[in-house]
Amino acid sequence: MESGNHLGIYWQTDRATVVCLAPPGRDRKLLDCFWVSADGESQNKAQTLADRIVETCRQRKLKFSEVGVALDCAGFMQHTVHSEFSDPKRIAATIRFDTEEALATDISDMAVAFRITSSGPDGAHTDVFTAQRAVLSDLILSLQSHGIDPVTVDPDVCCLARYLLAYARTPPAPEQSTLHAVLSDGRGYLVVVPEGREASILRTFLIGAGQERTALLAREALVTTALAEPARPVRHVNVFDEAGAVAAGSLGTRTGLNVSACDLAALAGPRPQGAAELPGAVGLALACGAALGLTEKANSVNLRNDHMPFLGRKRKMQNAIRFLSLSMTVLLLAAGVYFHSQLIRVNKQRESLHDKLETDYLAVMHGEKRLPAPMKKAVANLANAVRRLQAEKQGTDTNQETVSAKLMLVLQGLNSCIGRTNLNLSSVTITDKSIVIVGDTPSRQNTQDAVKAIREIMKKAGIEVGPETQRTEGDRDAFTITAERAKPVKGR
């Protein structure tokens, strides 16, 4: 079904008029219209009408999104009921009790809809429409059997008022009202429309086959004009008689009002292309009014609000949300199980790595009894050990214990030759890259013996010694020995 187009149905006992309107806009174009009949069917006429409506729509390839129904006045009753409240919500909550009290009858098997005609400090006056639930059930279930769920089921006179407000043009008269009188073959409708306002008075009546239509309309029109507000009296009457039996001049003489004829069917616009025969003008207007009500649900006098309330998109949305919620729940549960299994697997790997690393760590880090709790600290300790080993291998070890050991070896060797060579040490400088020894002896021979001894001592400490310098300072022979770089001796 195409989104936007609206289908309106005027539903009678054995006949239905159907129109299809374009999406709401400035012109509300009439796309197609037809009528079907259930003549010859003695039982289940509602299902027959629904079957023929759907079949004709299929033949004409009509596409629509929503459906509104105008219920024939033979299927409902109209009453005037006073409510103690003026708030629409409070009226809706109590209207059934007020109606039951006013009618003095049980209305449990009836659907009730209302509209407010006037309100004041003492409450509100309402038009109450009641319809048998069985009639509404037959109508709705027959259409639903074909996948068509009507959004609204309005009284036909309300649909006519909506049609007239949308299409009829009344002369500008702020202090006056216009009476629209519409007669079909067996029904009459009276709608009073004040200028620029919603219809204030709605009335229907039946027309017998032998009644004189002009006299009947004159009588009903006078009763209706008497009900109009004194501030906005009725001065003009627009008349349409489908049978063509009402004389405008005679009606004006009898009522004393300005009477003019109108073409009810022409108000909706030109005939749709492909429509061989238009339905009756009154049925067309009522069906159009039902379709127009789909854009004015808030102001609709909808009997479905009280019987088999329409859920439509709301139900689809609820089902979609329910399905989405279930899907998201299953998805989240699956995601939780997956990530939890991944976490268990990672924890197992972590525990196995922890046990393996603890064994290796304790073997390397002497004196440690257990692996540190923060793994970063253990990694840092291992990194320091690796760096220390690399420094020792490359001869750039700056570990304080290794330097101290070498210094002890050098000093022990020097002490052994001090007495023999009369060696006087001025300074011994040890850095991470070199060792510098400055001293003097009484003679050149003693200096050479001291230097030789120092070289042997350095060699034992794993240090290669560079060339020395010798010089005479006063009566003593001075020397300077420099180990340019320290590296381990091969084979050690």
Give me the CATH number covering residue 406.
3.30.70
C-alpha to C-alpha distance for 262 and 165, rounded to whole angstroms? 14
Residue 317 within any structural domain of the chain = no
Residue 52 within any structural domain of the chain = yes
Residue 489 within any structural domain of the chain = no
One domain for residues 190 and 338: no
**How many domains is the chain built from?**
4
Q: Report pLDDT for 435.
A: 78
Q: Report pLDDT for 481.
A: 83
Residue 18 within any structural domain of the chain = yes
pTM greater than 0.85 (yes/no): no
Q: Report pLDDT for 367.
A: 65
Q: Which helix (H) or strand (E) holds 18?
A: strand 15-21
Grouped pLDDT means (10 residues each) for the chain, 492 residues: 80 92 75 87 87 92 91 93 92 93 92 91 93 94 92 94 82 76 92 77 90 92 88 88 88 90 79 66 92 76 89 74 92 93 88 78 71 76 78 59 63 72 79 76 83 77 76 84 58 39
Residue at a domain's end among 364, 394, 424: 394
Neighbours of 14 (CB within 10 A): 14
One domain for residues 163 and 177: no
**How would you list the strands of the sheet with 234-241, edge to edge?**
201-206, 187-194, 177-183, 234-241, 258-261
C-alpha to C-alpha distance for 278 and 169, rounded to whole angstroms? 23
Query: What range defines the domain where residue 342 resides?
Result: 322-394
Residue at a domain's end among 253, 279, 310: 310
The answer to whether the beta carbons of residues 71 and 307 sit under 8 Å apart is no
Handedness of CA 449, 454, 455, 459 (dihedral sign): positive
Q: Report pLDDT for 432.
A: 60
Residue 491 within any structural domain of the chain = no
C-alpha to C-alpha distance for 130 and 445, rounded to whole angstroms? 141
Instruction: Round the CA-based radius of gyration of the chain to a whole number and report it.
Output: 54
CATH number at residue 53: 3.30.420.380
Distances (CA, A) of 208 to 186, 223, 241: 6, 19, 14
One domain for residues 20 and 85: yes
Give SS3 for 449. Answer: helix
Residue at a domain's end among 394, 424, 443: 394
One domain for residues 415 and 301: no
Q: Which of 452, 451, 407 is nearest to 430 (CA)?
A: 407
Q: Report pLDDT for 79.
A: 94
Backbone angles phi, psi at 7, to 5 degrees: -105, 125
Distances (CA, A) of 4 to 305, 464, 486: 23, 99, 94
One domain for residues 161 and 68: yes
